[in-house]
Amino acid sequence: MRATFRAARRTWLARAGANALALLVGGCASSARSRARRSVVVVGGGYGGATAARYLALWGGASVQVTLIEADARFVSCPLSNLVLGGSKSIDDITRDYDGLARHGVRVVNDRATAIDHDRHEVRLSRGDAVAYEHVVVSPGIDFLFERIGGLRSADARERVLHAYKAGPQTVALRKQIEAMPDGGVFAISIPRAPYRCPPAPYERACQVAWYFRLAKPRSKVLVLDANEEVQSKKALFERAWREDYPGMVEYRPDCVLTDVDSATLTARFEVAEDVRADVLNVIPPHGAAAIARSAGLVTANDQWCEVDFLTFESVRAPGIHVLGDAIQIAPLMPKSGHMANQHGKVAASAILAQLFDLPLDRSQVISNTCYSFITDREAVHVASVHAYDPMQKTFVTVPGSGGLSAAKSELEGRYGFAWAQSIWNDMLS
């Protein structure tokens, strides 16, 4: 965090300390302390929400009660989940628990938020209780717009044609389909139009499946069916990997806008391109902010994403409701990534504490993104960018000359990639 925030935090900590002391002197320390605690609720314990919860607790200390509402009992990482599909990692390798957050005083509630009541300042839960908030952070990730793809409206079809684009049971199920595929078969992956979650992830997936095929089913093929006109991230690096590491195995087809799926025959149909029949059909449907953001009225852009004030990450619709991560309408050239969601979490945590304790907002936030993609089980490439808040444009803009891209894949970058995952999981959850 920048110097302004450090100075503001020192003032705030001093003030909070003075208040706590005054309450203690007034007697009945514990009840007075709990009365003085401010309440922040976080919905969604993924990359954005877990980070926000942890930093609200770390920076807010005893003055803030942070409640994290997460539907799943354990955190499963999307980053590295393509390696589970390739078979070099297991689902356990990318799963963590929420105990670390509890140790910081975060109250972790394993339940699904069903509604956010703006008037009563309450988040309602599926088991029936409600949690009151002064500020609420909403970082629920994405939900898929299955209704936009004919043939994927039924639950049965969606069990045969998997997305595996939220890490968890679908990752394991898709791995099983890939393992069961005959040698000489076709694995086809359909990519939606940008913007979508993690631009390089589908191309990394093509590499990981090809890596497995090279070892176990060398006559098989990976078809990349992209709704976009070209590879959306690390283009030259992925094209080189397909040419040099997996020659004749990976075929890339642009402008494949999916319209319909026949789940019985595993056939994909497109606006213009010819039909494709696969042995394993992996469709990443178009997606948008997850259901809770929609039901809370926070989706304001393109019927998909939530616009925010980038100074505080508050919804443009609802002050006091901060939306993070993949659910937001991104700033220019800002990727939808776990690293970015982690950065959103810290900016939002600092803004919420400033708002709660009457401190100046930091208008000079600088955040960054690094994204590693694994070409083989141990070799990776990366792309990085730096984004600064511009008070004139009221958004984040990329810092000229910042960031970078790998020259070529390497094992060293692979080691950095695994270290990146461990350190960001620690930064969110430890």
Ligand X SMILES: Cc1cc2nc3c(=O)[nH]c(=O)nc-3n(C[C@H](O)[C@H](O)[C@H](O)COP(=O)(O)OP(=O)(O)OC[C@H]3O[C@@H](n4cnc5c(N)ncnc54)[C@H](O)[C@@H]3O)c2cc1C
Candidates 241-249, 251-259, 338-346, 348-356 — which segment interacts with ligand X by CB under 6 A? 338-346
| Touching ligand X, residues 9-48 (CB under 6 A) | 43-48
Cβ proximity to ligand X: between 16 and 49 the closer is 49
Candidates 248-256, 262-270, 299-307, 325-333 — which segment interacts with ligand X by CB under 6 A? 325-333
Shortest separation between residue 207's beta carbon and ligand X, angstroms: 12
Task: Decide: is 82 part of the binding site for ligand X (CB under 6 A).
Answer: yes
Rounded alpha-carbon distances, angstroms, from residue 372 to 189, 327, 338, 378, 413: 20, 21, 11, 11, 8
DSSP 400: T
Rounded Cα gap, residues 214 and 209, in angstroms: 9
Question: Pattern 178-207, binding to ligand X, x per CB under 6 A?
Answer: -------------------xx--x------
Cα 229 versus chain centre, distance: 24
| CB atoms inside a 10 Å sphere around CB 67 | 19
Beta strands in 305-394 (DSSP E): 308-309, 314-315, 321-323, 366-374, 380-390
Cβ proximity to ligand X: between 9 and 234 the closer is 234
Candidates 67-75, 154-162, 273-281, 304-312 — which segment interacts with ligand X by CB under 6 A? 67-75
| CB atoms inside a 10 Å sphere around CB 92 | 10
Shortest separation between residue 318's beta carbon and ligand X, angstroms: 16
Among 38, 175, 287, 336, which residue sits at the site for ligand X (rule: CB under 6 A)? Answer: 336
Rounded Cα gap, residues 251 and 231, in angstroms: 12
Per DSSP, the three-state class of 25 is helix
Cβ proximity to ligand X: between 285 and 338 the closer is 338
Please answer whether residues 67 and 40 qualify as being in contact, where contact means their C-beta atoms are separated by less than 8 angstroms. yes
* 211's tokens: 């890596």
Task: Decide: is 133 part of the binding site for ligand X (CB under 6 A).
Answer: no
Q: Which residue is nearest to ligand X (CB)?
A: 46
DSSP 320: T
Task: Decide: is 222 part of the binding site for ligand X (CB under 6 A).
Answer: no
* 415's tokens: 């080691």
Candidates 88-96, 136-144, 147-155, 239-247 — which segment interacts with ligand X by CB under 6 A? 136-144
Per DSSP, the three-state class of 51 is helix
* 70's tokens: 């997460």
Cβ proximity to ligand X: between 12 and 46 the closer is 46
Using DSSP bridges, classify how beta strands 135-138 and 321-323 pair: parallel, antiparallel or unpaired: parallel
- Number of residues forming the site for ligand X (CB under 6 A): 36
Cβ proximity to ligand X: between 298 and 327 the closer is 327
* 147's tokens: 């209704």
Rounded Cα gap, residues 58 and 73, in angstroms: 22
Candidates 7-15, 71-79, 186-194, 381-389 — which segment interacts with ligand X by CB under 6 A? 71-79
Among 308, 321, 341, 375, which residue sits at the site for ligand X (rule: CB under 6 A)? Answer: 341
Cβ proximity to ligand X: between 31 and 402 the closer is 402
| CB atoms inside a 10 Å sphere around CB 348 | 28
Among 371, 375, 381, 429, which residue sits at the site for ligand X (rule: CB under 6 A)? Answer: 371
Residue count of the chain: 430
Candidates 24-32, 182-190, 270-278, 324-332 — which segment interacts with ligand X by CB under 6 A? 324-332
Task: Decide: is 338 part of the binding site for ligand X (CB under 6 A).
Answer: yes
Rounded Cα gap, residues 174 and 170, in angstroms: 6
Candidates 73-81, 227-235, 272-280, 399-407 — which segment interacts with ligand X by CB under 6 A? 73-81
Task: Decide: is 149 part of the binding site for ligand X (CB under 6 A).
Answer: no
Single out the residue of 201, 206, 199 nearest to residue 221, CA to CA. Answer: 206
Candidates 6-14, 133-141, 270-278, 308-316 — which segment interacts with ligand X by CB under 6 A? 133-141
Beta strands in 58-112 (DSSP E): 64-70, 75-76, 95-96, 107-110
Among 140, 195, 199, 414, which residue sits at the site for ligand X (rule: CB under 6 A)? Answer: 140
At which residue do the structure tokens 């992830």 appear?
Answer: 201
Shortest separation between residue 328's beta carbon and ligand X, angstroms: 8
Per DSSP, the three-state class of 244 is helix
Interacting residues with ligand X (CB under 6 A): 43-49, 69-72, 78-79, 81-82, 112-113, 139-141, 165, 197-198, 201, 290, 292, 325-327, 336-339, 341, 371-372
